[in-house]
Amino acid sequence: MRADGTQQHRERIWAALRRVGRPDSRFHWDFSSFIADFAGSDAATARILQLPAWQQAERVFITPDNSTELLRREAIRAGKTVLATTYGIRRGFLQLDPADVPPHEVSYAATLDGLDRYATPTPLARLRGGEPLRLLVTGGSAISRNGIRFGKGHGYFDLEWAMLSEIGLTTGESEIVDIVHDAQVVDEVLTGEPHDVPVDWIVTPTRTIHVPDHGREPGRVRWELLPGTEHEHLPPIEELRGLLAEEAH
Amino acid sequence: MSAPRSQLARHAGAPPIYQQIAVALRELALAHPWGDDQPLPPEGQLMERFGASRGTVRRATEELVRAGLLRAEPGRGTFVDRRTQVRLVIHDALAGIALPDSRWHLDVDAFVPDFAGSARCHELLRELPAYHAAATVFITPDNSLERLRALALDDGKTVLVPTFGMRRGIVALRPDAVPPADRELAATLDGLERKGQRLTLAQLTDIGGVDLLVTGAMAVTSQGVHIGGGQAYLDLEWGILTELGLAGQATTVAAVVHPVQVVDAPLRPQRFDLPLDTIVTPDGVLDTGAAFPRPHGITWQALRPDLVNTIAYLAEMEHQHHAR
């Protein structure tokens, strides 16, 4: 746990989400277990569609949050490939080819249940060497003015960014968007930890906030921190370990 | 029973002997024939088999008693708890057939998984006279029943689905409110959140009646005992429906399961268990003979107090119950 009180922020924001957030089909109001959709996520989604990075991207990485469901729907409609992880990265990465989704099932495919139905499990070996991502979108529990996000507290997005970087899918041109409710923006400058991945854009139903000079470095998996954590034996982590060992030979 | 002496690892770094014995005893208990009422071998035999002291064997046994798999009856011996045995055996068998959930993955203690062949079950279920006659069908939020919800809407039925764990009440899907293009989505748990109507207690009461209840299971016995994931949601759902007068003797109760989930164990239902009339697997439809009586209503004195505050409707119903 950090010393700067992110846990207090998180709890205050969960209280706010009881008013503006939407429950999950499995976890109900347990905001420690999922990233909630919120009132106004349609307006926030519409703001993302205005970003140049969205318009230029043929493929978008979108985290499996409820707040990003509408954006997945827009991606499928726009013919963009959706790269995602399964919930908690437990079954690795999925890729959704919009051509696989019948027109009347677009809304279905955009849900987490639908992703499981229409997307294809995709190992890192198949993603490696592909066109780098122009845009990555994630939801979060809370985010500071300087783009430091704190999600469910599991560090999934930081790890996703690290893995995607390790296989060459991120560059200095990659932009990260955090979609949140206004109540989730903490008007403070937080000091990030080395594994924190600052974002370029904070998008809410009412604001599009650009974060300049965040000083983000290319991601890398911090292998020394993994032993004993829930991340240690995730399938893509196991796979990446093997891929990097092969490369080292 | 004369079995060869078990080899236990005694080198440095091996797990404690009592834990190794507990693992061996667990295997022995899980392999115990369904129809066999005999106790496990007595302590003396186990001491000899494992080459361990009475205290060590007892410690292993006590661990499995705490886990609910064994039951020690003074003067008679140590018996296998059949219900726990069934649950554990089928839990292991599900590993080979379960399809993952979008949140729970393959943690089948947390949810009832879909399996290859569920579509055939839905076909068979739709041929049942009770299905044809039903106007309102209650379908539990199990993944094996996902497509059935969409088909029931296509068949013109009102579909009632409890939210996961009954935390936020029961949701209604009505064929006139959910257009055909939305039904595949509406049938999923995520879709239910968007396309269904969450019922207040008054709205639920106004539904009038449930003609058919369809559930998944962790396991079922061929005599119609339903074994859930350990959380007894079905029994609570049935309790609420019958307390409100929405279900009763005229309601058909059917389970959709994979053949590996059907066991021949001679179990009897516990006090609040809802027995099954019909079991549907991809191989066919089994009529259980409905040999067991059905529970009715909510026994307020027996209800765990924490459930009143976590399960929808119960607090309001209890209030009304005491006001009467």
Tell whether A132 lies on the interface with B, counting CB pairs under 8 A: no
pLDDT tens digits along A22-66: 999 999 999 989 999 999 999 999 999 999 999 999 999 999 999
ipTM: 0.91
Domain ranges of chain A: 6-22+36-212+221-248
Tell whether A26 lies on the interface with B, counting CB pairs under 8 A: yes
Q: What is the mean pLDDT of chain A?
A: 93
pLDDT higher at B306 or A41: A41
Which residues in B lie closer than 8 A to residue A102 (C-beta atoms)?
Answer: none
CB A239 within 8 A of CB A221: no
Per-residue model confidence (pLDDT) at position A152 = 63
pLDDT tens digits along A139-173: 988 899 999 987 667 889 999 999 999 999 999 99
In DSSP notation, B50-112 reads HT--HHHHHHHHHHHHHTTSEEEETTTEEEE-HHHHHHHHHHHHHTTTEEPBTTTBT-TTTSP
Name the pTM for this structure.
Answer: 0.92
Is domain A6-22+36-212+221-248 classified as CATH 3.40.50.10420?
yes
Q: Please compute the mean of the pLDDT values over residues B106-118 and round it to a whole number.
A: 94
Q: Please compute the mean of the pLDDT values over residues A117-133 and round it to a whole number.
A: 97
Per-residue model confidence (pLDDT) at position A99 = 98
pLDDT tens digits along A59-70: 999 999 999 999
CA angle A135, A141, A143 (to 5 degrees): 65
Alpha carbon separation from A140 to A15, A32, A83, B24, B304 (Å, rounded): 15, 11, 18, 46, 36
In this prediction, residue B3 has a pLDDT band, given cuts at 50, 70 and 90, of: low
Nearest to A59 by CA among A73, A45, A77, A80: A80
In this prediction, residue B2 has a pLDDT band, given cuts at 50, 70 and 90, of: very low
Between residues 128 and 167 of chain B, which touch chain A (CB distance below 8 Å)? 163-165, 167
In chain B, what percentage of residues exceed pLDDT 70? 98
Q: Do A105 and B182 touch (CB under 8 A)?
A: no
Tell whether B179 lies on the interface with A, counting CB pairs under 8 A: no
pLDDT tens digits along B61-102: 999 999 999 999 998 999 999 999 999 999 999 988 999 999
CA distance A61 to chain B (A): 18
Per-residue model confidence (pLDDT) at position A154 = 82
Which residues in B134-156 are b (16+ Cβ under 10 Å) and which e? Answer: bebbbbbbbbbbbbbbbbbbeee
Cα atoms found within 13 Å of the Cα of residue B219, Cβ hemisphere only = 23
Which residues in B lie closer than 8 A to residue A90 (C-beta atoms)?
Answer: 105
Between residues 182 and 211 of chain B, which touch chain A (CB distance below 8 Å)? 182, 184-185, 188-194
Cross-strand partners of A38? A21
Q: What is the mean pLDDT of chain B?
A: 93
Per-residue model confidence (pLDDT) at position A133 = 98
Q: Among the listed ranges A110-114, B7-11, B126-130, B179-183, which one has the minimum average pLDDT value? A: B7-11
Write out the two tokens for A67.
């707040």
